[in-house]
Each structure stands twice: as structure tokens, then as C-alpha cells.
Structure 1
Amino acid sequence: MQKSNWQRQDITDNYLEQVRGGIPFGAEQSRVMLQVIEHFTPNPRKIIDLGCGNGFLAALLVRTYPGSHAILIDHSKPMIEAAKRHLHPYKDRCNIYYDDLTHSLTQYGERNSIDCIVSGYAIHHLTHEKKKELYQEIYDLLAPGGIFINVEHTASATAELERLHDALFIDHLAVCNDRDRQEVATEYYERPDKEDNILERVDVQVNWLRDIGFDHADCYFKWMELAVFGGVK
């Protein structure tokens, strides 16, 4: 199993309580995800949420599409427990697995069988080579016309843009959580899970998707280092 700081309960709790709900333009990211899915793959029935966290994206999808069934995967046991609580109202339409995105996805579906695969702030923990391998596996699993959407933390194009992103993100978290900005900044820069981030620019990753064969591969929404991108098989 992949080693990371996300195995720790305190890091998971801090993310869910202080960060997840305070992500800038989080509602807009989810809205764009649904709009793109609805346009290209309306009424998906088989859904996979990779690195599901507390199951936020999967819950949104099964609520939006009553005929759907979702498979959720995460390598963090605290996140898995959070997902079970969050998805309890839909427990008959969800299967939640403790697994690692470095492992093969073939056990979760046959080739050309999945309508929609999503991921939220998870794939950036993989090495770039593993990212590309995962994107290929996603393509293989998707049914023709199936869609992949990644709501993701990506790399800035320059160091100065990264500094701007960090400053704006800290500002947003401080206001959202009604906390002292300096305290938030200290936590942000010293957070232990930062070492788990292996970021790549969104344009680079979109090109990977195009090379694999995805149609309509593009960045559908972007604010600083936060992006919604994907493609259609």
C-alpha cells in the first residue's frame, strides 16, 4: 500500500474540517464537472471515484443520477471511514474499497464498461509516470463515450505564480474559516502532507490524455493551481 501522510487521522480531519469546504471555487468546480458530464455522457450508470476522500464527488453523482452505482477507492483508512459515513444514505448504490491507485484498476471493471470516472485532489500524489499509466487504465476501462473528469491540484507555470497561488489560497482559507491569517499561513507552509504532492501543469496532463486517445481533452475550469480537466473515450 502506498505510504503517505494521509494514513494519519489528524491530517485527514484537518483537511475535511479546515480545507475541503474552503477550497476556492469548489462549488464552481463541481458544477463544471456535472455540466461536462451531462453534455458528453448524460445519465451515467457505472461510476468510479478514484481517491474518493470523504466521497464528496461520488455522493454528488449518485444524487444527480438516481439510476447510477458508484465504486469508491481510497488508500487512506480515515478517508474510507469518512466516505462510509457520507455515503450512508446511498449505501445500496455504492461499494467502497480500501486500495491504492498504484495498483491495477482491472478488478473494478471490465474494459469498455464504465460510463464515468472522476477523481478529486488525489492523482497528484502519484509520480508522473504512474499518472500516465493510470490515465491509460482509465481510458481502457471507460465505455465508448465514457468520460473522465479530474478535479485536481496542478503545478503553476512559474515559481512566482506558485507564490501568488499560495498567498491567495491562504487568504481564502483564513476568511472561510474565520481564522488569523498568520496562523493559517504557518499551518499551510508547514503541513506534513505537502511532501506527498507531486504536481504537474494541467496543459502537460491534458496532452497526455490526448496522446492516449481521449477526445475533447481539455481544461474545463482553472483557478491558479486548481483545475478541472479530462476527456471522453
Structure 2
Amino acid sequence: MKTTWQREDVTTHYLQQVRGGIPFGAEQAQMMLQVVNHFIEKPDIVMDLGCGNGFLAEILLRTYPTVKAICIDHSKPMIEQAKIHMEAYSGRCELHVGDFRQSIRDFADPNSVDCIVSGYAIHHLPREMKKLLYTDIYNLLKPGGIFINIEHTASASDKIEKLYDELFIDHLTAYNEGNREEIATRYYNRPDKADNILERVDIQVNWLREIGFNHADCYFKWMELAVFGGVK
């Protein structure tokens, strides 16, 4: 899958100037962990789809000292960043360059993974590929395993989307201590914008229910940023 995320400059900009400025990013990660803890006492294997530099996998590896992680990203620059960021966990963490347009079944056996997480990655797939990926996720999970997606979703209307954009720019401005007008210009003209194929969270939760996930719900939401998933 060819996207701008395979460019090193896009990867660097995101990690340095955007990731930390995502509104309620800490709360999203905390909710992920709270939901995982609620359903799984001691996971053995976790998978991080679109792992970036390994941020979500690191949280799970730090929380569960015996867990092993399988981290997958289609961006080679991101995987290179993950090798650096995840060096302390190299004995418990596999890093793979992988394309979500192809099956993730190459990276794990059916019914073998306790927890699959993803952060701001699946929204790059077209609608039908999202559904297929969610089905693959369901098949890889053990019975009782959980899927948590921290994701950029679509607004219900253009007017709400405009409010989201303005509020997001406010957060980026505060995080970078920069000039709001300049940051807004970069935001609206960012090269990765064309890679976004957004879908409403309620629609995606319904897909999970149709696939067979239990407890499928949106666990946290702020504007277009949502934490949702389900249990096999």
C-alpha cells in the first residue's frame, strides 16, 4: 500500500509535532488499558496493527511483564523508529513491515492472540477492506480475546467536522507553542490528508457486532477521535 506514511519526513513530523498534541491522547491510551484489563487478566500475545514507533505495544509490554507483542506497520520509516523506541523490549517484541491490504493472517495463527490493538491506522483502508480486516482480527483472536481500536473517525456532518478541525488546531498550537495561523496552514495542507478514508464510529461498531464481537461499543469519544472495539 503506497501512502505518504512511507515518507520519512511525514513520519518524523507526526512523531515530533503531532502525536503528542492529539487531544486526550493519554486518556485514550488509558481507556484502552482499562478495557483490556477488564476482560483479560494476563494476556500472553498481543498484536499492534499500524504500530508506528510502538507506542501502544509499549504500554501493554510495560503493563504485562510476560506478554509478547507482534507489531506491524506498512511504513518502513515507522518500523525503523520502532526499532529504536522499542529496543528495551526487543526480546519480547517482533517488528514487521506489513500491508493491511494483504492478510494479517501471515503474522499469527487463528485463535492465538489475546489482544489486538490499533492506533490511527485502519482509517487509511477503504470501507470493504476495513470490514475484511475486522474479520481477520476476529479470526486471529482467542475466544475471549479483545480488539481495541484508537481511531480517527468521521464526523456526523460537515459543520461538526469544521469544529473538530478548529479544536484540533488549537491543541496542536498549544502543544508546539507555535503560531496558530502557520500551524493551521500546515494542518489543512498536510500531505497525508489524502490517505484518510474516514467512517463513522457507530457504523464500525455495528460491523463488529455483525462479525460476531461481543461487548462491541465505543468506549471513549472526543469529536472525531474514538476508542472502540469488542470481545470475541
Question: Structure 1-normalised TM-score?
Answer: 0.99
Aligned counterparts of 1:175 and 1:130: Cα–Cα separation in 2: 36
Name 2:153's counterpart in structure 1.
154
TM-aligned CA deviation for residue 107 of structure 1: 1.7
Tell me which residue corresponds to 2:123.
Answer: 124
User: Does residue 90 in structure 1 map to residue 56 in structure 2?
Assistant: no
In structure 2, give the amino acid aligned to 1:23. Answer: I
Structure 2 letter corresponding to 1:182: E
Two-structure CA RMSD over aligned residues (Å): 0.5
Partner letter of residue 150 of structure 2? V
The residue aligned with 1:206 is 205
Report SS of the residue matched to 1:21.
helix
Kindly provide the amino acid, as one letter, of the partner of residue 206 in structure 2. N
Equivalent residue letter for 2:23: P
Unaligned runs of 5+ in 2: none
Are residues 1:169 and 2:168 paired? yes
Alignment partner, residue 14 of structure 1: 13
**What is the alpha-carbon distance in structure 1 between the residues aligned to residue 108 and residue 146 of structure 2?**
15
Say which SS state the counterpart of residue 73 (structure 1) adopts.
Answer: strand
Q: Distance in 1 between matches of 2:4 and 2:168?
A: 21
Do structure 1's residue 45 and structure 2's residue 60 form an aligned pair?
A: no
Partner Cα distance (1:125, 1:188) in 2 = 17
1:219 equivalent in structure 2: 218
- Rounded to whole Å, the distance in 2 between the matches of 1:164 and 1:41 is 37
1:42 Cα deviation from its structure 2 partner: 1.9
Q: Which amino acid aligns with 1:203?
A: D
CA drift at 1:216: 0.3
Aligned residue type for 2:158: A
**Secondary structure, counterpart of 1:43 in structure 2:** coil
CA distance in 1: counterparts of 2:43 and 2:102, whole angstroms:
25
Mean Cα deviation higher: 104-113 or 194-203: 104-113
CA distance in 1, matches of 2:118, 2:49: 5
Paired residues, what number?
Answer: 232
Amino acid at match of 1:210: R
Q: CA deviation at 1:79?
A: 0.3
1:26-55 per-residue CA deviation (whole Å, 9 max, x = no partner) reads 000000000000001122110000000110
For residues 167-224 of structure 1, give each alpha carbon's deviation from its aligned partner in whole angstroms, at most 9, with x where no partner exists: 0000010011100000110000000100000000000000000000000000000000
Residue identity in the other structure for 2:31 = V
The structure 1 segments of at least 4 consecutive aligned residues displaced by more than 3 Å after TM superposition are: none
Q: Counterparts of 1:155 and 1:84 in 2: how far apart (Å)?
A: 32
**TM-score normalised per structure 2:** 0.99
Task: Specify the alignment match of 1:197 in structure 2.
Answer: 196
- SS of residue paired to 2:192: helix
Aligned residues: percent identity?
66
Q: Return the alpha-carbon distance in structure 1 between the equivalents of residues 194 and 53 of structure 2.
A: 21
For residues 73 and 213 of structure 1, what CA distance do their matches in structure 2 show? Answer: 24
Aligned-partner Cα distance in 1 for 2:46–2:101: 19
The residue type paired with residue 114 of structure 1 is V
